[in-house]
Structure 1
């Protein structure tokens, strides 16, 4: 088996698990945590608004409340079954994730953090937590995003983690693609460029590890029918883990959109069977949409107004079993 050569510092919580789970069933999820920042100003990034003196009046009590909220929402994904692996985005640092896994119910699951600093100007990164007891971790790396002719472009890296599950090798790639801030049409080339880079990365992993499976998860800031999604699926030969019709993970201007997704490759389907997969849309994570009717995610902020919620996104998940 090919191990990765150079990696990172891992951040570990050492409490043992207390909740049972079927031995041959795995639960993976992805969750945009909506600006999980601590209260300290990082001089290298533009995070000043997330300080007690900043525009959001981000205090330690609000941060701890956010941690408590997220812990509850993550536990709700599996109900009685804890999440084995959670990919996340919009996190400031390994420190805030350590706070998350060391407090409340998550502290009982023996989670480990994998995180790299990315060049994003706001200081938000992708990361991953996993249960050490359940998954055999091999290594990780961060793939930098460099677009031709855009030396000034800075965005989140792609996090690549390698695991072994029941003697089966699996790569998990965590993504947070460029947003539509600045205009949906104007930013299409950015997402298309990242899609090509991501597809090439998947192809490289498959060539180096032909028997390994690949799972891609993330906030892609694009709907299933958009060009960058077609690029990813066709060039990397990936498919969505669940039917996108009628699904939504984020609501904007009264319209639900499915921008958070999980993809799998052909090898995954050969060695694992999917029990269930989709958007974790439960009442505790929702509130009434008084302007556009229906419901919407119960978020932390509406603009700069503190809403005491969870996130403006809903988690997506996949539960699967190794095939005999």
Structure 2
């Protein structure tokens, strides 16, 4: 974990140096936007919903008199993290935050209206999924930065091989909009878990990747140079077949061609990063990847990828014992720990050079 923290710090310094790089004429200036993904670990409200299995959530398993207090503390923990992701460089909370393990739209409304986040005026994209536990994906966006053009929820239909019965899981959220005029589509995921073992559950994640590929192909059929960002808790590492084979995500940016996908988290896994832990092993289940036009090599206007990170500051980690330096999760041993999540968030910086035209627009807006 110390290695991860050091690498993150070095990335920030390298970025700061590059962002003010001198040319023979003048220093280039850039707008910087953070795009993040965060598994919020059982962000459920305190009301019993008879249509889902929410009584099995950690909050609902607590004594009724404790639920409201724990819920507010959980919201505070999530808001505290979100406002800090990428802020050391972008000087603000993320423009886009994909989330998962949320019960409904209400918990997202409570989150964006929390005192730590309300100043950023986040909008919400969310649809109820058929997942039996009632957990959904969602996307938060700064209304000042991002304008939603359309959104949709794509159903993942998979079946249990032994029983033939359908396994109800999370839908995939697709949001297309303009990031300060730059058209970008976001696909927010929470792929099927490894319950029952990695091998037995693998077909569900391969099917989820195939649905992602279908969505990407459909967007490319409209515009072959679509800027598309895929994010989520994939319950697979970036080196598993679902990502490497089904999505054909590339480790090296020089291998990426039009209508292909680049995944910076393949290298991050190799470098020793982890976003979640099970027993004594770390995994990079949380990833952000994107299509070719967001790379410098594509020579496209607008925002482009700069670098990728795992947000793993010391205040979000266990400080001692067997689990030292792993995620300080919200719930453990049937109680609320005062922690955050069993996943670290991931994030990328998107940058756009400020031109004379941008300067004129800023002046005219004043």
**TM-score band, normalised by shorter chain:** 0.7 to 0.9
Aligned to 1:307: 337
- Name whichever of 108-117 and 146-155 sits farther off: 146-155
Aligned to 1:56: 62
Q: Which has the higher helix share?
A: 2
- 1:44 deviates by 0.6
1:275 equivalent in alignment to 2:306: yes
**TM-score, normalised via structure 2 length:** 0.78
SS in 2 for 1:206: helix
**TM-score, normalised via structure 1 length:** 0.87
- 1:51 deviates by 7.9
- 1:225 deviates by 1.6
SS in 2 for 1:25: strand
Q: Distance in 2 between matches of 1:117 and 1:185?
A: 28
Deviating 4+ runs (over 6 angstroms): none
- 1:306 deviates by 2.0
Q: Distance in 1 between matches of 2:109 and 2:30?
A: 26
Q: Distance in 2 between matches of 1:224 and 1:250?
A: 13
> Is residue 118–residue 124 contact of structure 1 (8 Å, CA) maintained in 2?
yes
Alignment of 1:113-262 (within 5 A): 113-147=124-158, 152-234=166-248, 237-242=260-265, 243-244=267-268, 245=270, 246-262=272-288
Aligned to 1:65: 73
- 1:23 deviates by 7.3
- 1:276 deviates by 2.7
1:110 equivalent in alignment to 2:124: no
1:321 equivalent in alignment to 2:335: no
- 1:239 deviates by 1.5
Q: 1:240 and 1:220, CA in 2 relative to 1: closer, same or farther beyond 3 A?
A: same
Q: Distance in 2 between matches of 1:280 and 1:123?
A: 27
SS in 2 for 1:48: helix
Which structure has the bigger radius of gyration? 2
Aligned to 1:264: 290
Query: 5+ residue gaps in structure 2?
Result: 1-28, 250-258, 356-366
Q: 1:77 and 1:51, CA in 2 relative to 1: closer, same or farther beyond 3 A?
A: closer
- 1:197 deviates by 1.5
Q: 1:51 and 1:40, CA in 2 relative to 1: closer, same or farther beyond 3 A?
A: farther
SS in 1 for 2:108: helix
SS in 2 for 1:104: coil
Q: Distance in 2 between matches of 1:109 and 1:151?
A: 44
Match of 2:34 among 22, 27, 32: 27
Query: 5+ residue gaps in structure 1?
Result: 1-21
Question: Size of the alignment, in residue pairs?
Answer: 301
1:91 equivalent in alignment to 2:102: yes
1:75 equivalent in alignment to 2:83: yes
> Is residue 30–residue 317 contact of structure 1 (8 Å, CA) maintained in 2?
yes
Aligned to 1:295: 325
Q: Distance in 1 between matches of 2:240 and 2:146?
A: 34
Question: What CA deviation, in whole Å up to 9, does each residue of 1:273-312 have, x standing for no partner?
Answer: 33331101101111125125x4111111124232111111
> Is residue 171–residue 214 contact of structure 1 (8 Å, CA) maintained in 2?
yes
Q: Distance in 2 between matches of 1:207 and 1:132?
A: 28
Q: Distance in 2 between matches of 1:287 and 1:31?
A: 18
